[in-house]
A and B are shown apart, each in its own frame.
Chain A
């Protein structure tokens, strides 16, 4: 059994837009997978089905042996606790410090303060932000804010980290740093990474598996892949 399996998956939105059509994909534990495609090709829709923000209209999405397309709304939180999610916009709470923002995830799971503290410190160490622990988000650069988000996503040491264009708001230099952090998490924590992006430079440099989506259809799947001319974005 693969860690993630997507079988004959369709996503049709209520307005009639077919965002994903007959998509099949399997991903092993510990893999690092890029999902690339034009804007509007369906990357986010695919990603959203992985954390059960959207239900597939047809087909199955299986994560860690659980068919999450059948998951009831009230049980979605159980899935969310087992994975980390990072977005293009950082989604930090402005009134909370860096520490509190990361601790927020563990509080949501009902952990006690003495359990929370070492985990938060460790996560912030991993992303290299330990010295900013008392800062507020508006005192940080974009790259630093994104690292706080990554720390929050991995603080419970999930087996899966889902990233939807995490470098979309960052300059190339900062993007590089963020990719380094994500790659380290993949290597050191053996976290499976699925990252949607249309940043050509990143994909070409990293030499990871690349899944290409066009108009909701999977049109390419390359190990150690890169952006090709005919898959231009």
Chain B
């Protein structure tokens, strides 16, 4: 009961001081709102990009073209050598003969059929299509395949996915730096708001200490104030996360572009992100007030 009473008074006092230091409170809340909106966007984008790149990565294959002057036993030897590399599993190596390829192309377009028919020999080489286990080793695995005897040329993708991944890596790093600095600014602003409260109540605090109030009880209302500032600052970002993402998802029919790369379904994801954003707001708020309490509450 006593705990409940103390809690009630703390919450009331905290709300009171949020309004007493209105302009600084608004500054803190605005800053944490902006920060948290960025955090939410960053999380949502990065979740989707990770999802998309893992889909893209599945399509990253090495195409291995063989020399034209080899027979089927050579093909088997080459296949065994490719499978022998440690980044490759047997079931991920598919043989496509030049003949098969030619047929496929001929079926696909009449023009191609006409061109291919005029040629006496098949210009298309026999090849393997290879998917690797670890995409980050793609380049070195390709190089190893290139060194196998009887291999004319091994090459992978057009580099689109790779470039996309690399670019997103940079964007991700820049975002982390921006969000990190904004978090620091928010902590600083909240801590300054709390500092004002501490100063405006310093007589009361002095008397509390004199008459034997435990330090924790003295600190509590300030921690609450930071908590409340952080939570208020996270409300708009949380709502924006939920409604904004659902809106975007509906507008885009669930796809980023073409229907190969899909967006992550909103339900669950948006709730997790909204909760994380609120938790982050609360933590940042309490961290700010902890800093102020450490610095300005000389207890």
Contact = CB atoms under 8 A, between A and B. Distances in A.
Interface in A6-61: 51
Interface in A75-103: 76-81, 85, 91, 93
A110 B206 contact: no
Interface of A: 51, 73-74, 76-81, 85, 91, 93, 104-105, 108-110, 112, 152
A78 B209 CA distance: 10
A152 B210 CA distance: 11
B207 A93 contact: yes
Please classify the interface of chain A as helix (H, G, I), strand (E, B), loop, or mixed, using the class held by over half of its residues: helix
Given A73-B299, A93-B204, A110-B2, A80 B216 contact: no
A108 B212 contact: yes
B299 A80 contact: no
Given A73-B299, A110-B2, A91 B210 contact: yes
B68 interface: no
B214 interface: yes
B203 A105 contact: no
Given A74-B215, A76-B209, A93-B207, 20 more contacts: A73-B299, A74-B214, A77-B213, A77-B215, A78-B212, A80-B211, A80-B212, A81-B211, A81-B212, A91-B203, A91-B206, A93-B204, A104-B207, A104-B211, A105-B212, A108-B217, A109-B211, A109-B212, A112-B2, A152-B211
A105 B208 CA distance: 7
A101 to B, nearest CB: 9
Interface string B181-217: 0000000000000000000000110111111111111
A51 B204 CA distance: 18
B208 A108 contact: yes
A105 B216 contact: no
Contacts of A93: 203-204, 207
Interface string B212-235: 111111000000000000000000
A105 to B, nearest CB: 4
17 contacts: A51-B210, A76-B209, A76-B215, A77-B213, A77-B214, A78-B212, A80-B211, A80-B212, A91-B206, A91-B210, A93-B203, A93-B207, A108-B211, A108-B217, A109-B212, A110-B6, A152-B211
A79 B212 CA distance: 7
Contacts of B204: 93
A85 B212 contact: no
B212 A77 contact: yes
Contacts of A85: 210
Nearest to A110: B2
A155 to B, nearest CB: 9
